[in-house]
Structure 1
Amino acid sequence: MNRNPALRDALFAAIVLILVLAIPMLHRSPAFEDFIIRLSAMALFATSLNLLVGNTGMVSFGHGMFYGFAAYAFGLTMQLTELSLPVAALFAVALTTIAAFVVGAMCVRLSTDYFAFITLAVQMLFFSVIVSWQSLTGGDQGLRGGIPRRHILGFDLGSQLHLYQFCAIVAVLGLLALRHVSMSPFGNTLRMVRDNAERASFVGIVLWRARLLAFTIAGGFAGIGGVLAALFVSGAYPELADWPNSGQAIFAVMLGGINSFLGPVLGAMILLALNDLVQRFTEYHGLVLGVVILAFALGLRRGVLDFIHLVWSKRAR
């Protein structure tokens, strides 16, 4: 099994998916099902960002733009056309991937600092368009009329259980695909670009082309997360495309671990759980959550999975 990492990853994903799908058969919990649906969207969002941050060394402050773009593209397609849900979802993800390519073409040649701030500036521009174009987007109230939850591949997305199952399957398959990208020769190329861009250029790698492809792929997978988020809230709202949402993805990556593939998934899980827990006790949940995240950062000085891996390696030696 160790000689075939792709098979090992597929088996691990299958086991996780079976366990997640089996839980409601043993005990139904609407709160838990809602959490997994939100986690499915957030895990894809954060892990796609880590393809840039962890694998390529590109810190994007505007990654939430593609999350929100896909949510609006999906919602508007469902409202304005008679396309089936799968076709509308694929169309939204494809449109988001094209948008990521266009934005990436403008900024991947820039230095690290300028790249980060240009992505933030483009996201703020997109957010302003959403809020201002009320006739199309509904402005700060979000899409009017919601999104009809139609059937897809035997799933009735009007049922919370079916939506839970669908989101879990999409999330696991999406993460498995991202894992394949990360472990492929292209993923190795991205890490070479991250670690030593000059040497990578010397051996024939076109830096801007590799970075643009990574940026485009990351935007597309963030779009899948945005579609799941739109299905969960049955609509699209400006908050999905606002810069604090990009900050949440960055927090998830830093909290779970940049150097571990499942780090952003764990980070998203911790972040959502902490947010739900803190909101029960105080209205100042942002302040409390910031203090908790700061305590994690100062205490571990790295992501949770990175810290565990470091401790494990020291004990093994």
Structure 2
Amino acid sequence: MTIERRPEPLMSVPTRSHTLRDIMIGCLVIAALAAIPFLLPSKAFQDFVIRCSSMALFATSLNLLVGYTGLSSFGHGLFYGLGTYSFALLMQKTGLPLPAAFVLTLLLTAATAVVVGAICIRLRLIYFAFVTLAMQMLAHSIVISWVGLTGGDQGLQGGIPRRVVAGIDLGNQYHLYIFSAVLLVIGLLLMRHIVSTSFGTSLRMIRDNEVRAAFLGIVVWRVKLTVFVLAAVFAAVGGIVMSLFVSGAYPELINWPISGDAIFAIVLGGVGSFLGPTVGASILLLLNDVVTRQTEYYGLALGIIILLFALGLRRGLLDFITQRLGGRPAGGIS
């Protein structure tokens, strides 16, 4: 996947005032979401926010690779699915409390990402994309074949036990709704901080000119591996949210089309804006909910809509709006 970009000026380390501003905005978003069910009670809306939180974390983590580093991964869903299955298995097969299972899932995902990333990051362009895809297809095959552990094509259907944490019952839809929103906001704040630091500047330098970045003293392979692992961990958080939502794990959550969903979300929302993947995830899920009620040809309808975006806007929705309002040129990362 080739994305046209223009070089952008280097960004400075974020100031404390910017960080506080972002945190305040995040707190306001959480407060607004917490109040909405009391003003407009809707189980469907709460379900939508939970699913959107999961997909937005997944898509934004992929954009750390695609938009900021120039690494087009077609197999990023490996880590989303790994987060889903690892968390569900730890909760079902061990006596670990939920917070311990959460942390251990992230550690397992990070360790896997180190191994996979060490293989993939030295490859370039389409070779990197297809090797990551091959890794995800291998993981999916293991899930399908290892019936005794993963449940095979039936998935893990035993539910998620011990959901009560500090008085919060994640088996309750509203509590899971708030928990998902908090994880989304925290995840976005952390990723926003990452791309706004000098490390984020190194990512953009590698994306724009890898040879020049190496000449300036950046250890390219180390930076690539670091962002690969970070992206995997944030994708796993999205997978954990989905595991809690479906009360288990299913092969569809680690199969290669799930990576396509994240790519579609980035394309729809915009690769050039930090919140683009979150907007794109919302659009994608909304289209899924609306189109599937009208026709069984969801794939065809979605393909036509994405084609209209590509030919009409020639960029993601948020990129288009930003450019129209006089923001950064299309292709810049804001």
TM-score grouping bracket, smaller chain normalisation = over 0.9
- The answer to whether the 8 A contact 2:322-2:328 is kept is no
Are 1:172 and 2:185 an aligned pair?
A: yes
Q: Select the structure that is richer in helix.
A: 1
- The answer to whether the 8 A contact 2:157-2:247 is kept is no
Q: Which moved more, 1:5-14 or 1:127-136?
A: 5-14
Instruction: Return closer, same or farther for 1:260/1:76 CA change in 2, 3 Å cut-off.
Output: same
Aligned match of 1:185: 198
Q: CA deviation at 1:27?
A: 2.1
Are 1:155 and 2:168 an aligned pair?
A: yes
> Pick from 149, 152, 177: which aligns with 1:139?
152
Rounded to whole Å, the distance in 2 between the matches of 1:149 and 1:272 is 29
Paired residue type of 2:54: A
Matches within 5 A, 1:45-60: 45-60=58-73
Instruction: Return closer, same or farther for 1:315/1:255 CA change in 2, 3 Å cut-off.
Output: closer
Q: Which moved more, 1:8-17 or 1:243-252?
A: 8-17
Are 1:284 and 2:297 an aligned pair?
A: yes
> Pick from 205, 223, 235: which aligns with 1:222?
235
Q: CA deviation at 1:113?
A: 1.2
Paired residue type of 2:36: I
Aligned match of 1:10: 23
- Normalising by structure 1, we get a TM-score of 0.97
Rounded to whole Å, the distance in 1 between the matches of 2:41 and 2:161 is 24
- Normalising by structure 2, we get a TM-score of 0.92
> Pick from 264, 271, 275: which aligns with 1:251?
264
Q: CA deviation at 1:2?
A: 8.3
What do residues 66-87 of structure 1 show as CA deviations (whole Å, max 9, x unaligned)?
0001111001101111100111
- The answer to whether the 8 A contact 1:78-1:88 is kept is yes
> Pick from 16, 40, 50: which aligns with 2:53?
40
Percent identical residues: 58
- The answer to whether the 8 A contact 1:157-1:163 is kept is yes
Instruction: Return closer, same or farther for 1:314/1:51 CA change in 2, 3 Å cut-off.
Output: closer
Rounded to whole Å, the distance in 2 between the matches of 1:69 and 1:140 is 15
Which residues of structure 1 form unaligned runs of 5+?
A: none
Aligned match of 1:102: 115
Matches within 5 A, 1:195-234: 195-234=208-247
Q: Which moved more, 1:142-151 or 1:79-88?
A: 142-151
Rounded to whole Å, the distance in 2 between the matches of 1:167 and 1:153 is 16
Instruction: Return closer, same or farther for 1:135/1:314 CA change in 2, 3 Å cut-off.
Output: closer
Paired residue type of 1:219: A
What do residues 46-65 of structure 1 show as CA deviations (whole Å, max 9, x unaligned)?
00000000110000000000
- The answer to whether the 8 A contact 1:149-1:231 is kept is no
Aligned match of 1:118: 131
What do residues 159-209 of structure 1 show as CA deviations (whole Å, max 9, x unaligned)?
111111111111111111111111111011100110111111011101111
Paired residue type of 2:112: A
Aligned match of 1:309: 322
Q: What count of residue pairs does the alignment treat as equivalent?
A: 316
Q: CA deviation at 1:111?
A: 1.2
Rounded to whole Å, the distance in 1 between the matches of 2:285 and 2:307 is 16
- The answer to whether the 8 A contact 1:249-1:268 is kept is yes
Which residues of structure 2 form unaligned runs of 5+?
A: 1-13, 330-334
Cα RMSD (Å): 1.6
Runs in 1 of length 4+ with deviation above 6 angstroms?
none
Paired residue type of 1:86: P
Are 1:81 and 2:91 an aligned pair?
A: no
